[in-house]
């Protein structure tokens, strides 16, 4: 569902009030007080930073939640709101700051509120919208770099899935993605779709100890797809799963046992055949983890967040830079406004 910035801040304020009134036996993330003596000094060196463009709201876009992609030197992205109909846009911007709205979502049976990154397949951009389409359950769309948009598939909120919140991936010319809801058990799906619009459900989540709930984006490792779910699994706290391009699914690991992580919100990454990821909660201090897992399902907690001026709640995923993992935490750190961290595998 679409959430305004105001309501998000209101929700956070309510959480602060609830935490302050509770008789917790250990510090929660809202009760944490940093050790001032250990706060590092800020660097006063000037930063090479430049605002290329400021969004102006309709008919321009607003709230660009997702990242950019580079296609032949021009950047492309989406905004969650704004545009001619107030339901989001696809835009282009040059590296010198010249912006152009390529498409405004929300007219007729078009998609609305694009909530995931675009991908480039041979010069055509592909993406998803969380809602909209024929049944208001989301779409997969294509758009040329000149702005010609086409809805490839409208989800029905039935067995084909509903609300595709994550980005697509391209594997040998076929696109793969996930939906938050829908499918045979209404707990989300993994699907494939051709660039011509032929969609197929590869797996429906929610049966037995299978995963369920929000699925992050997929990655391709040697022709097999890997991903995470925030719910389901043996202990009901999320999973890492694999699925073949033909649709054979296997739960590699179910979170929630002991001081294990809980709720893996972001996608995993592949580093030399081993997968690495984050959980938003859980671990030794209940504030999230970084974990590794083999493609055979052997999981290990590499770091538990929440001790001292450490970060809290690693909501996003990881990247690998020369064998070292980097990521962010939503909160925590010396000033309790989040952190950027690094660790070795």
- Beta partners for residue 244, in sequence order: 224
Confidence of residue 10 (pLDDT cuts 50, 70, 90): very low
pLDDT tens sequence across 104-136:
999 999 999 999 999 999 999 999 999 999 999
Of the listed ranges 7-16, 51-60, 272-281, the one predicted with least confidence = 7-16
DSSP string, 41-97: PPP-PPP----------TTSEE---S--EEETTEEEEEESEESTTSS-EEEEE-TT-
- pTM here is 0.84
Q: pLDDT value at position 221?
A: 96
Higher local confidence (pLDDT), 213 or 29: 213
Q: pLDDT value at position 180?
A: 93
Q: pLDDT value at position 311?
A: 94
C-alpha 30/C-alpha 292 separation (Å) is 28
How many CB atoms are closer than 10 A to CB 122? Answer: 7
Higher local confidence (pLDDT), 300 or 31: 300
pLDDT of residue 282 exceeding 50, the answer is yes
Which 3 state secondary structure label does DSSP give 213? strand
Higher local confidence (pLDDT), 10 or 60: 60
Burial class (CB in 10 A: 0-12, 13-18, 19+), 305: buried
C-alpha 165/C-alpha 171 separation (Å) is 19
Which 3 state secondary structure label does DSSP give 129? strand
pLDDT of residue 298 exceeding 80, the answer is yes
For residues 259-264, give the mean pLDDT: 94
Confidence of residue 45 (pLDDT cuts 50, 70, 90): low
Length of the chain: 345
Q: pLDDT value at position 157?
A: 84
145-172 residues labelled b (16+ CB within 10 A) or e (exposed): beeebebbbbbbbeebbbbbbbbbbeee
For residues 321-337, give the mean pLDDT: 94
For residues 339-344, give the mean pLDDT: 94
Confidence of residue 213 (pLDDT cuts 50, 70, 90): confident
For residues 218-243, give the mean pLDDT: 96
Secondary structure of the chain: what % helix, strand, coil (to 5)?
5, 45, 50
Question: 138: which 2 tokens?
Answer: 């989301």
Q: Give the rounded percent of residues in the chain with a pLDDT score beyond 70.
A: 86
- Greatest extent of the chain over all pairs of C-alpha atoms, in Å: 60
pLDDT of residue 238 exceeding 50, the answer is yes
For residues 274-278, give the mean pLDDT: 97
pLDDT of residue 174 exceeding 90, the answer is yes
C-alpha 307/C-alpha 315 separation (Å) is 17
C-alpha 78/C-alpha 90 separation (Å) is 4
Q: pLDDT value at position 345?
A: 85
């Amino acid at each position: 569902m679409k959430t305004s910035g105001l309501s998000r801040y209101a929700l956070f304020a309510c959480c602060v009030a609830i935490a302050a009134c509770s008789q917790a036996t250990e510090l929660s993330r809202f009760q944490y007080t940093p050790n001032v003596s250990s706060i590092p000094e800020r660097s006063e060196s000037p930063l090479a930073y430049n605002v290329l463009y400021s969004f102006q709201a309709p008919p321009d876009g607003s709230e660009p939640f997702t990242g950019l992609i580079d296609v032949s030197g021009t950047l492309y992205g989406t905004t969650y709101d704004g545009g001619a109909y107030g339901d989001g846009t696809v835009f282009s911007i040059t590296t010198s700051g010249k912006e152009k709205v390529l498409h405004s979502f929300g007219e007729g049976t078009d998609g609305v509120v694009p909530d995931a990154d675009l991908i480039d397949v041979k010069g055509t951009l592909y993406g998803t919208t969380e809602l909209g389409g024929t049944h208001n359950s989301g779409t997969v769309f294509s758009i040329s770099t000149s702005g010609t948009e086409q809805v490839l598939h409208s989800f029905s909120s039935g067995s084909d899935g509903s609300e595709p919140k994550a980005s697509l991936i391209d594997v040998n010319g076929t696109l793969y993605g996930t939906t938050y809801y829908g499918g045979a058990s209404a707990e989300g799906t993994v699907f494939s779709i051709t660039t011509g619009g032929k969609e197929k459900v590869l797996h429906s989540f929610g049966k037995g100890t299978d995963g369920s709930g929000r699925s992050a984006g997929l990655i391709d490792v040697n022709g097999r797809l890997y991903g995470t779910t925030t719910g389901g699994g043996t202990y009901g706290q999320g999973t890492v799963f694999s699925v073949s391009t033909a649709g054979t699914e296997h739960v590699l690991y179910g979170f929630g046992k002991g001081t294990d992580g809980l709720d893996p919100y972001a996608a995993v990454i592949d580093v030399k055949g081993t997968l690495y990821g984050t959980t938003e909660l859980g671990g030794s201090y209940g504030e999230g983890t970084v974990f590794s897992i083999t493609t055979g399902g052997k999981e290990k907690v590499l770091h538990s967040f929440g001790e001292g001026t450490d970060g809290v709640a690693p909501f996003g995923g990881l990247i690998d830079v020369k064998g070292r993992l980097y990521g962010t935490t939503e909160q925590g750190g010396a000033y309790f406004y989040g952190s950027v961290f690094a660790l070795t595998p």
